[in-house]
Amino acid sequence: MELVIGTKKWSTWSMRPWLVLKRSGMPFTETLISLRQENNQTYEAIRPFSRSGLVPALKDGELLVWDSLAICEYLAEKLPEAKLWPADPVARALGRSAAAEMHSGFQALRQECPMALEIEPRQAELSAATLKNVARITELFNELLGRFGGPFLLGDWSIADAFYAPVATRFRTYGIKAEGPAAAYVERLLATPEALAWEAGARAE
């Protein structure tokens, strides 16, 4: 397998399937494309790997899968032994709902607090829209942790946790404090071996 990703300091969408692949234990080749190049060069650099001109993209033999959520679902189906989703259908449905909400929502947090692993943590002043996003994320964390008992959102680590790992980096970078069990969860998420390995790669860029 080959996973094409963008600059690790910034690419939240690349981080998610990368964490999932790492967690699965499946060997893969990592192809890194530098983002934010001038004169449309990033798009042109990605196009040989993904016709969408976006990362991430997963190549498995002749198959090309693009979009982070599609990649993660493909990996869950291809690697059932990795248990990337829980066996319980209720937990799986709630986890997919949480991942989809991250995939399509929280625009204010995304725009105001981009993932930037190269900068030192600071206390940011947040808009009302971003605070609303933070409140919803915290609520979601606490509901799932309460329902399934932790230590991760669905009990054991899953794709849902991969989807919120970049959010955990944002909370740290911009001094955002989660309330209740969510606070310790954010710290656990950042301390997983996969997240630490991603950040080590970001520092090496």
**What rounded mean pLDDT belongs to the chain?**
96
The total of structural domains in the chain comes to 2
State the average pLDDT over residues 82-97.
Answer: 98
CATH number of the domain where residue 146 is located: 1.20.1050.10
pLDDT of 42: 87
Q: Which of 186, 162, 134, 197 is nearest to 56 (CA)?
A: 162
Domain boundary among 64, 82, 100: 82
Percent helix / strand / coil, the chain, rounded to 5: 55, 10, 35
Q: Which of 156, 172, 167, 165 is nearest to 195 (CA)?
A: 165
Per-residue confidence band for 43, with pLDDT thresholds at 50, 70 and 90: confident
Domain boundary among 34, 67, 82: 82
Residue 36 has pLDDT above 90, yes or no: no
Per-residue confidence band for 197, with pLDDT thresholds at 50, 70 and 90: very high
> Is residue 202 situated within a structural domain?
no
Q: From residue 146, give the alpha-carbon distance in Å to each of 152, 180, 185, 203.
A: 10, 10, 11, 34
Per-residue confidence band for 131, with pLDDT thresholds at 50, 70 and 90: very high
According to DSSP H, which parts of 35-192 are helical?
41-46, 68-78, 89-104, 107-112, 128-148, 159-173, 181-190
Task: Note down the domain range covering 31.
Answer: 2-82
pLDDT of 123: 97
CATH number of the domain where residue 30 is located: 3.40.30.10
Residue 10's identity, in one-letter code, is W
| Cα distance between residue 92 and residue 72, in whole Å | 13
User: What number of other Cβ atoms are within 10 A of residue 175's Cβ?
Assistant: 13
CB–CB of 166/160 below 8 Å?
Answer: no
DSSP-derived 3-state class of residue 5? strand
- Which helix H or strand E contains 32, and what residues bound it? strand 29-33
Percent of the chain with pLDDT over 90: 89
pLDDT (tens digit per residue) in 65-80? 999 999 999 999 999 9
Residue 37 has pLDDT above 90, yes or no: no
| Cα distance between residue 8 and residue 39, in whole Å | 21
- Do 13 and 32 reside in the same domain of the chain? yes
pLDDT (tens digit per residue) in 149-189? 999 999 999 999 999 999 999 999 999 999 999 999 999 99
pLDDT of 39: 73
Q: Which residue has the higher pLDDT, 113 or 53?
A: 113
Strand 63-66: give its sheet, edge to edge: 29-33, 2-6, 57-60, 63-66
Residue 30's identity, in one-letter code, is E
State the average pLDDT over residues 82-87.
Answer: 98
| Cα distance between residue 139 and residue 129, in whole Å | 15
